[in-house]
Amino acid sequence: MNLAPWRSILARSLYKSRNLRESRYFQLATVTPEGYPKNRTVVFRDFLEQSNQIKIITDSRSEKIEQIEAKNWGEICWYFSKTREQFRMGGELTLVGASYPDEDLQKARLQTWQNISDAARMQFAWPTPKTARVEDTEPFSSPTPDPTMPLDTFILVLLNPQVVDYLTLRGNPQNRTIYRLTGEEVWEVQEVNP
């Protein structure tokens, strides 16, 4: 497996901002079954091993699940405020839930579950997101889930970038490069006007 040509640029951006927690947050856009755009902040959970796929996690009860089931495509917008760089990455989304048949991806799901904190794991046992607020705090303080056994609500989401639009605001004019996947591990690279 070859790293995509934009991987080293992204790795450098992450390294330069490594002391900023929010540098690992980005915005993921999806489309509702009715054709409306949705957008939310999610956390970068690293790359899937031996691939260029980006890992995020979500709750099976989240609205984005229905959206991705209807249209399995997303666009990440990742802005690094310190270095003034933006990566827009469009690609296919895969939902790896408890019954997903691929053994390697189940291993990745388990490993990702193990890597997150107790506090993050607990959220998957909380009351249903975006329903009327449960005022009692007891349902939010359930016992810590087993770190070796992902809850059924835990979904690993993979985004497989097929177009990456890289913009760096430094320089006048600014610099912008489009990377397009045109074949297996073949990336076409084009410098464009910002």
Q: Which residues are at the interface with a second copy (CB under 8 A)?
A: 20-22, 25, 27-31, 35-41, 71, 73-77, 79, 81, 86, 88, 90, 119, 123, 126-134, 137, 140, 172-173, 176, 178, 190-194
The string over 38-70, giving b where at least 16 C-beta atoms fall within 10 Å of a residue's C-beta and e elsewhere, is: eeeebebbebbeeebbbbbbbbeebebbebbee
Helix (H, G, I), strand (E, B) or coil at 113: helix
| Nearer residue to a second copy within complex by CB, 104 or 188 | 188
Between the two ends of the chain, the Cα-to-Cα distance in Å is 31
CA 87-123-54 angle, 5° bins: 25
Tell the smallest beta-carbon distance from residue 146 to a second copy (Å). Answer: 21
Tell the smallest beta-carbon distance from residue 46 to a second copy (Å). Answer: 20
| Nearer residue to a second copy within complex by CB, 16 or 176 | 176
Tell the smallest beta-carbon distance from residue 22 to a second copy (Å). Answer: 4
From 104, 101, 97, select the one nearest 150 (Cα to Cα): 97
| Nearer residue to a second copy within complex by CB, 4 or 31 | 31
Question: Structure tokens of 66?
Answer: 């229905």
Tell the smallest beta-carbon distance from residue 150 to a second copy (Å). Answer: 20
Ramachandran category for residue 46: left, alpha or beta (phi over 0 → left; psi -120 to 50 → alpha): left
The amino acid occupying position 94 is T
| Nearer residue to a second copy within complex by CB, 52 or 86 | 86
| Nearer residue to a second copy within complex by CB, 53 or 108 | 53
| Nearer residue to a second copy within complex by CB, 55 or 75 | 75
Instruction: Map tokens 């999806």 to a residue.
Output: 30
Tell the smallest beta-carbon distance from residue 60 to a second copy (Å). Answer: 14
Tell the smallest beta-carbon distance from residue 49 to a second copy (Å). Answer: 26
